[in-house]
């Protein structure tokens, strides 16, 4: 009998579902899992047969963050250079950037706690669907750490600077309704329905006009990064004209004209 995969990917037509599969540890990320997840997400970002990506956790949690035991046990083997250690961490954090910037929709399914790096990964996705039993916490300040995997960036953009500072400074746990009120999640669903609801939404996005959705995503990212209105208008004009050359546009127009 083979070893259990701590991360695995399933394909449903053009939807890829990545599962963090360490439920006995609330899917806490070991270094090996971080490296595996980065390779998996990078591969899916480049795979033209994949039109949407879903990230979920096995069991009753999304992800409890980094595995502190892994930190302790691996510490003697880490590079002694602070620069090299920072470079390795930054490389692993590339997963957040890929989830946020890949030219296809990404969706996180939050069945339970999303903490630390797990919260960063969830917030990096375009859409977050949470169970009413989900909880959220940065957790970094409890460890005397500033935060990683983009938590500070995404919290600031989604919840606003003041709430982001409070959540990061205090590391307080918030429930799903509060997260919804803060703008951290997109939909709140009962625990029994969260998986089916999420898969249905993700499949619909995967069947959508992939290139156009990628352009939409690029436009919103430019807005988040402070692009001026003139730049956004230029992007919209360029992408709109470009999109009229795609088969998706021609099929959509034909369907509308026939209706």
pLDDT, one tens digit per residue, over 13-24 is 999 999 999 999
Q: What is the pLDDT of residue 254?
A: 84
Residue linked to tokens 């500070």: 152
- Are residues 146 and 38 part of one domain? yes
How does strand 174-175 pair with strand 135-137? antiparallel
- Are residues 217 and 137 part of one domain? no
Is pLDDT above 90 for 42? yes
65-110 residue pLDDT tens: 999 877 655 554 555 567 888 888 899 999 999 999 999 999 999 9
Closest CA to 93 of 160, 144, 154: 154
Tokens coding 95: 């997963």
47's CB contacts (< 8 A; 6+ apart) are 16
For residue 36, give the 3-state DSSP assignment. helix
Q: In the predicted model, what is the mean pLDDT of residues 205-225?
A: 91
- Are residues 113 and 159 part of one domain? yes
| Ramachandran assignment for 158, one of left (phi > 0), alpha (psi -120 to 50 degrees), beta (any other) | alpha
- Are residues 232 and 158 part of one domain? no
Residue 14 lies in a domain: yes
Q: What is the pLDDT of residue 80?
A: 59
Range of the domain at 221: 210-258
Q: What is the pLDDT of residue 1?
A: 41
Q: In the predicted model, what is the mean pLDDT of residues 109-125?
A: 97
Q: How many domains does the chain have?
A: 2
Residue 110 lies in a domain: yes
Residue 215 lies in a domain: yes
Confidence of residue 2 (pLDDT cuts 50, 70, 90): low
Burial of 3 (0-12, 13-18, 19+ CB in 10 A): exposed
- Are residues 96 and 48 part of one domain? yes
Angle (nearest 5°) at CA 32 between 124 and 79: 100
Q: In the predicted model, what is the mean pLDDT of residues 148-174?
A: 95
């Amino acid at each position: 009998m083979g070893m259990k995969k701590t991360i695995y990917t399933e394909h449903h037509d053009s939807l890829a579902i990545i599962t963090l599969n360490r439920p006995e540890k609330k899917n806490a990320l070991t270094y090996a899992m971080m490296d595996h997840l980065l390779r998996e997400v990078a591969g899916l970002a480049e795979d033209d047969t994949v039109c949407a990506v879903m990230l979920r956790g096995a069991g009753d949690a999304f992800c409890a963050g980094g595995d502190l035991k892994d930190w302790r046990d691996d510490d003697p083997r880490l590079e002694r250079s602070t620069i090299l250690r920072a470079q390795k961490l930054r490389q692993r954090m590339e997963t957040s950037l890929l989830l946020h910037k890949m030219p296809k929709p990404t969706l996180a399914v939050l069945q339970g706690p999303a903490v630390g790096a797990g919260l960063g990964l969830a917030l990096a996705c375009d859409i977050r669907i949470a169970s009413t039993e989900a909880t959220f916490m940065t957790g970094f300040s409890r460890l005397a750490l500033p935060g990683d995997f983009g938590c500070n960036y995404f919290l600031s953009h989604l919840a606003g600077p003041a709430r982001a500072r409070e959540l990061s400074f205090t590391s307080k746990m918030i429930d799903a309704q509060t997260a919804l009120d803060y703008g951290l999640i997109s939909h709140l669903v009962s625990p029994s329905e969260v998986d089916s609801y999420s898969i249905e939404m993700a499949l619909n996005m995967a069947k959508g006009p992939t290139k156009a959705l990628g352009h939409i995503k690029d436009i919103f990212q430019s807005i988040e990064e402070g692009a001026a209105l003139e730049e956004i208008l230029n992007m919209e004009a360029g992408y709109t004209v470009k999109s009229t050359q795609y088969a998706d546009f021609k099929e959509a127009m034909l369907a509308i004209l026939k209706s």
